[in-house]
């Protein structure tokens, strides 16, 4: 049975009440303290102290300190006044004390539940705030990345437009140069014709008094060279095919490099092309680019060198350089004849792929469409072109 502590002491002023309960040598961590507005309980077995206060106190602003063998309560009165006595007149009534004890415990339990709910709500608010902050940071990062992509895309587009303008200017200059050459050639022919006319007048039969020379009979031998292209004459593009053969012949002319450090093999563009192909198969794309570039210095009219180098640039994601090399290859693959259709198809697909990786899907689809005209039964090209159309359609829908 617990022993009731009676040797406590207390003091008061109008606003505060001080209550000291002795612990009698019990360790502080063994003490169980319960306090409410009207009820105080200190339990340290086998001793127990209970107090039913005369008037309510502010439990939130009150405190209890354990030390030096005592528990000291500092209780803030709700109403400033001098009590004159510590306990209520009903403190001796066990039934009233029991009810007050139960009410106080119920109030404390309710208060703890409310505190727990408030703490949980505060935690939820903190979690929501943290999530909102994280979402804002993620949105900011996404926007920053999108701005970088837009900037890179714009830079690539501007560079491509500049390159197109340069190509147009070069083509126009080349056209003007050809026209100038044609005019000079026509002028030269006119001068030659005039010279022949003047020379004919000096030896005219009317000036020499001689009759016109008699025409002698003769026989002309005609030998036909076999056609390089097997297409029937009425269906062929003979002028374009002849021009293509001429360009192929010019492309075989190798530029001589006076460099003593180069071996004979390194001066051979075909050897360099094969070396570049080996590097490409091995996955060493930069070494392949170097080999193709050196071969182009020796023979800059071979479209295959530019197309192969474009494939390397595509692997290295040098997309603008890939587009430039594919366009150069397409220029050298002119005129378009059946004999270079496969090479044109490769160049178009590589350039279209580079456009798509730059997110310039319309330009990429144009190149894929042109490639499909050259290879209509290619299922892979058909599937890729359909994917590009879906991407463009999805962009438009958004």
Cα(118)–Cα(139) distance, integer angstroms: 31
Note the pLDDT tens digit of each residue in 291-326.
Answer: 999 999 998 889 999 999 999 999 999 999 999 999
Which of 264, 340, 275 lies closest to 302, judged by CA? Answer: 340
- pLDDT for residue 257 is more than 80: no
Cα(43)–Cα(47) distance, integer angstroms: 6
- Specify the higher pLDDT residue, 220 or 124: 124
Note the pLDDT tens digit of each residue in 230-240.
Answer: 555 445 566 66
Of all residues in the chain, the percent with pLDDT exceeding 70 is: 81
Find the helix or strand (DSSP H, E) in which 66 lies: strand 57-67
- Specify the higher pLDDT residue, 246 or 23: 23
Cα(296)–Cα(165) distance, integer angstroms: 23
Cα dihedral 59→61→66→70 (10° resolution): -70
Residue 107, token pair as written in the block? 């109030």
Its pTM surpasses 0.85: no
Q: What's the pLDDT band for 290 if we cut at 50, 70, 90?
A: very high
Cα(171)–Cα(163) distance, integer angstroms: 12
Q: What's the pLDDT band for 168 if we cut at 50, 70, 90?
A: confident
- What is the distance in angstroms between the CA of the first residue and the CA of the last residue of the chain? 81
- Specify the higher pLDDT residue, 253 or 149: 149
Query: In the CATH hierarchy, which top-level class contains the domain 3-92?
Result: mainly beta
Q: Is 105 helix (H, G, I), strand (E, B) or coil?
A: helix
Cα(21)–Cα(12) distance, integer angstroms: 15
CB neighbourhood size of 343 (10 A): 17
Residue 97, token pair as written in the block? 């004390």
Phi, psi dihedral angles at 67 (to 5 degrees): 170, 155
Cα(29)–Cα(222) distance, integer angstroms: 127
CATH number of the domain located at residue range(s) 242-397 in this protein: 1.25.40.10
């Amino acid at each position: 049975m617990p022993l009731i502590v009676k040797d406590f002491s207390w003091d008061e002023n109008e606003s505060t009440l001080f209550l000291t309960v002795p612990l009698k040598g019990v360790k502080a961590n063994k003490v169980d303290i319960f306090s409410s507005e009207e009820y105080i309980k200190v339990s340290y077995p086998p001793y127990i102290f209970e107090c039913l206060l005369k008037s309510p106190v502010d439990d939130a602003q009150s405190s209890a300190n354990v030390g030096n063998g005592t528990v000291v309560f500092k209780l803030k009165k709700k109403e400033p006044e001098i009590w004159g006595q510590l306990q209520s007149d009903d403190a001796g009534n066990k039934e009233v004390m029991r009810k007050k004890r139960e009410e106080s415990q119920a109030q404390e339990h309710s208060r703890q539940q409310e505190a727990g709910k408030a703490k949980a709500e505060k935690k939820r608010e903190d979690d929501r705030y943290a999530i909102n902050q994280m979402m804002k940071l993620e949105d900011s990062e996404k926007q920053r990345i999108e701005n970088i992509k837009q900037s890179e895309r714009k830079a690539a587009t501007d560079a491509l437009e500049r390159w197109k303008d340069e190509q147009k200017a070069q083509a126009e200059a080349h056209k003007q140069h050809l026209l100038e050459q044609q005019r000079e050639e026509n002028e030269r022919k006119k001068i030659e014709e005039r010279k022949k006319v003047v020379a004919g007048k000096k030896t005219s039969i009317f000036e020499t008094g001689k009759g016109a020379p008699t025409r002698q009979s003769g026989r002309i031998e005609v030998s036909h060279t076999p056609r390089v292209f097997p297409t029937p004459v009425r269906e062929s593009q003979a002028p374009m095919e002849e021009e293509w053969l001429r360009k192929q012949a010019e492309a075989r002319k190798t530029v001589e490099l006076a460099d003593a450090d180069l071996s004979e093999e390194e001066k051979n563009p075909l050897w360099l092309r094969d070396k570049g192909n080996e590097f490409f198969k091995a996955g060493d794309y930069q070494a392949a680019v170097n080999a193709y570039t050196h071969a182009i210095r020796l023979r800059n009219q071979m479209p295959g060198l530019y197309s192969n180098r474009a494939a390397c640039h595509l692997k290295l994601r040098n997309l603008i350089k890939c587009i430039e090399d594919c366009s150069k290859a397409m220029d050298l693959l002119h005129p378009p004849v059946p004999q270079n259709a496969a090479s044109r198809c490769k160049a178009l697909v590589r350039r279209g792929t580079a456009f798509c990786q730059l997110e310039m899907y319309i330009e990429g689809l144009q190149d894929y469409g042109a490639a499909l005209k050259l290879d209509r039964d290619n299922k892979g090209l058909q599937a890729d072109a359909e994917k590009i159309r879906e991407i463009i359609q999805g962009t438009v829908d958004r």
